[in-house]
Amino acid sequence: MSLLILLLGIALLIVLITWARLNAFLAFIIVSVLIGLFNGMNITAITTSLQKGMGDLLGSIIIILGLGAMLGKLVADSGAAQKIATGLMNAFGKKYIMWALVLTAFVVGIPLFYNVGFVLMVPLIITLSKKYNISAVFIGVPMLAALSVTHGYLPPHPSPTALVSQYHADLGVTLLYGFIVAIPAIIIAGPVFALTLKKINCQPLEIFAGKDIPEEELPGMFTSMFTAFLPVILIAAGTIVKLLTNSENIFTKIIISLSDPVIAMTITLLYAIFSLGLQRGKKMNEIMLPLTEAVKDIAMIVFIIGGAGGLKQILTDTGISGQIAQALQGMSVHPLLAAWSIAAIIRVCLGSATVAGLTAAGIVAPLVASTGVNPSLMVLATGAGSLMFSHVNDGGFWLFKEYFNLSFKDTIRTWSVMESIVSIVGIIAVFILNYFIS
């Protein structure tokens, strides 16, 4: 009976978000309350569960999300992202323009949230396509594949960061494995898939062409690259030290301390304030204003993540999560495949990668303890599933269609297929990685 209540609850969640157009956070609260009531919980117990679930999840990631949003805003507004793009373009040249854009998107996609990266990078695509007379879709899809992969697989993006908390995974190890999985996903869904798109007619609107910041006003290439990659460097350094040595000395203690995600993001943001702001003659109040705006931009994402945490706690307190774990074990479904499949189904139904990933995690999280599966791989499997087949119920679908001025059919053929390839290659890569590390 409890499993039936859960299925009806997920169906209601889909109806509330897609048909009733209800805010996802409010939909999570309504569904959580109803699932609790139909499982015999009283209102006091339900609200206690909701508060605990939201507090537990947000308490572990809110600092990282806030600092990540601020860093992304600084990288974008300072022109650091533009500097990285132009620098790599000059280094690679017209012949390898696609690979330059893929690398650019991957670098700037780490600190930038997806929508920010899209709006920032697509005008560059349109400008370059006109300059070199190359199809915007041909060079744009690989770049967006890289942005999509960083959004779905790699912390400090909201969904992967929240999934790390949900599965009690190590963020540094997840980041390391995420890089390994990201490479084939980006290459196959990007440059390889783009070879089939050369004949698609694409005439992006002039209004979306980029307006460049003058070269003399941009930060240096080293400063831009180093600032964007610093959190990855710090977190990866600590992870590698922990994997390669068991001995403790002052050096390893310092490296491991600096690799703590909160400390790494704080150090990076402080460095960015100096390198991208103060060092270039900006006053502190000029730098702080965009940072305040950045936090406002992620407010709703934070609430949605909190709502998912509340639902997960309701499923735990009612015993539904345990029943699901037992049922899936009885069906002999590999936990990685279960996480990917459930996230993919919810993604296709709802459109939101974040909601899909977090909802799936709330359902399958008990499998980590009961099966001993690697929690970092569960993060990546769920992230891969949450990117499956973006279509009309996903804002990203319409962003791509309108910016590139494509027909509905061509948007499905390009954007939707690219997202599906990212998802499928991702889960295959996760299983291959699982074979070698298990």
Indicate the pTM of the whole model: 0.83
Q: What is the pLDDT of residues 3-59, one digit of tens each?
A: 788 889 888 988 898 788 888 899 999 999 999 999 999 999 999 999 999 998 888
The answer to whether residues 391 and 349 touch, using CB atoms and an 8 Å cutoff, is no
Q: Count the neighbouring beta carbons within 10 Å of the beta carbon of residue 322.
A: 14
For residue 73, name the pLDDT band (cuts at 50, 70, 90): confident
Task: Determine the Cα–Cα distance for residues 424 and 206; give it in Å rounded to an integer.
Answer: 34
- State how far the Cα of 3 lies from the Cα of 221, in Å rounded to an integer: 54
156 cis-preceded (ω within 30 degrees of 0): yes
In the chain, where the domains are located: 2-437
Q: Output the pLDDT for position 35.
A: 93
The 10s digit of each residue's pLDDT in 190-208 is 999 999 998 887 887 665 5
CB 150 within 8 A of CB 182: yes
Q: How many residues does the chain have?
A: 438
Phi, psi of 90 (to 5 degrees): -65, -35
Q: Which of 125-129, 337-341, 362-366 is least confident?
A: 125-129
What would the two tokens of residue 238 be? Answer: 């600590």
Task: Please name the residues in contact with 34: beta carbons below 8 A apart, sequence gap of 6 or more.
Answer: 9, 12
- pLDDT digits over 83-136, tens only? 888 888 888 887 888 999 999 899 888 888 787 788 778 878 887 887 778 889
Residue 210 — very low, low, confident or very high, per pLDDT cuts 50/70/90?
Answer: low
| Per-residue model confidence (pLDDT) at position 297 | 78
What pLDDT is recorded for position 206?
63
Helical axes 80-92 vs 221-244, angle rounded to 10°? 90
Whole-number pLDDT of residue 81: 81
How far is Cα 251 from Cα 233, in angstroms, rounded to an integer? 16
CA distance 118 to 11: 31
d(CA 203, CA 404): 7
How far is residue 351's CA from residue 54's CA, in Å, rounded to a whole number? 22
Q: Which residue has the higher pLDDT, 155 or 196?
A: 196
The predicted structure's pLDDT at residue 229: 85
Q: CA-CA-CA-CA torsion for 275, 289, 143, 230, nearest 10 degrees? A: 30
| Distances, alpha carbon 431 to alpha carbons 17, 181, 205, 287, 384, in Å | 32, 10, 41, 44, 12
The pLDDT assigned to 211 comes to 57
Express as a percent the part of the chain with pLDDT over 90. Answer: 46
3-class DSSP assignment, residue 426 = helix
pLDDT of residue 426: 97
Cβ neighbours of residue 317 under 8 Å, at least 6 residues apart? 36, 41, 45, 49
pLDDT in the model for residue 207: 58
As given in the structure block, the two tokens for residue 141 are: 């899809």
**Where do runs of H (alpha helix) occur along 217-260?**
221-244, 250-258
SS3 203: coil
Q: Which of 16-25, 178-187, 401-410 has the highest mean pLDDT?
A: 178-187
Q: Give 305-314 pLDDT, tens digit per residue.
A: 899 889 989 9
CA pair distance 221, 228, nearest whole angstrom:
11
Percent of the chain with pLDDT over 70: 97
Average pLDDT, whole number, for the chain?
A: 88
How many of the other CB atoms lie within 10 Å of CB of 248? 9
The two tokens of residue 320 are 């539904």
* 116 half-sphere exposure, CB direction, 13 A CA radius: 25
